A and B are shown apart, each in its own frame.
Chain A
């Protein structure tokens, strides 16, 4: 069974600073994908970044990067130069490539950017 753990219910960061949101996962499958989604107060789910289990380099998308440490089973999201618009809930999710290819979500971290 897959499991995603986000241990930080809430985080605060000063505007323009960097912040790391933690995510650990548990799977026995060798092939899997890790995702981060952003959910602003308006409620929609916005895809941010993806990392495959066989990818050699950490994924980056603009100000977002994924610190993938396979041996530790962690996939932390790093947001650089935080902006007020980054205030939102952030969800880590994992998909296995066997079986049904479904997503399993963590409980989320609420990020608040302080001006």
Chain B
């Protein structure tokens, strides 16, 4: 049981390049999330998916797109990377109401992205 996995762990991009951050969970959770963490700030929500087939914007969605490929996988895409997107990106998942995992969000290990 790996929990939430993210790939890659580190990435360096040049301005204007595109890339996709991958996230997968094996806990059969309905909800999945993408956050970014910047120095001196807490985690901020980029996009989320309340259930398979649905996605919604969070607090800071500009410059990003997401795909909920299936129940397990939720990817984050940067179409044209900018230096302002240099950050640590976390994926998280949460279980359904009535289960022990309803309240807690389980986080992946993070992806450290640098855009030059």
A107→B41 contact, CB < 8 A: yes
Closest to B56 in A: A100
Query: Which residues from B are CB-within-8-Å of A47?
Result: 104-106
Answer whether A91 and B104 are a contact pair too, CB < 8 Å, given A43-B88, A102-B33, A102-B58: no
Answer whether A101 and B31 are a contact pair too, CB < 8 Å, given A45-B90, A45-B107: yes
CB neighbors of A among B77-116 (8 A):
88, 90, 92, 94, 103-107, 109-110
B42→A4 contact, CB < 8 A: yes
Say if the beta carbon of B45 comes within 8 Å of chain A. Answer: yes
Question: In the complex, what distance in Å separates the CA atom of A50 from the CA atom of B94?
Answer: 14
A106→B31 contact, CB < 8 A: no
B45→A103 contact, CB < 8 A: yes
Answer whether A108 and B42 are a contact pair too, CB < 8 Å, given A44-B109, A100-B48: yes
Total contacts A-B at CB 8 Å = 50
Closest to A42 in B: B109
Report the count of interface residues on B (CB-CB < 8 A). 23
A105→B58 contact, CB < 8 A: no
Say if the beta carbon of B69 comes within 8 Å of chain A. Answer: no
Query: Which residues from A are CB-within-8-Å of B53?
Result: none
Report the count of interface residues on A (CB-CB < 8 A). 22
Say if the beta carbon of B50 comes within 8 Å of chain A. Answer: yes
Say if the beta carbon of A35 comes within 8 Å of chain B. Answer: yes
B88→A105 contact, CB < 8 A: no
Write 23 A-B pairs (CB below 8 A) sorted by A numbering: A4-B42, A35-B104, A35-B105, A37-B107, A43-B88, A43-B110, A44-B110, A47-B106, A52-B103, A91-B43, A93-B42, A95-B103, A100-B48, A100-B50, A100-B56, A101-B94, A102-B33, A102-B48, A103-B33, A105-B42, A105-B43, A105-B44, A107-B40
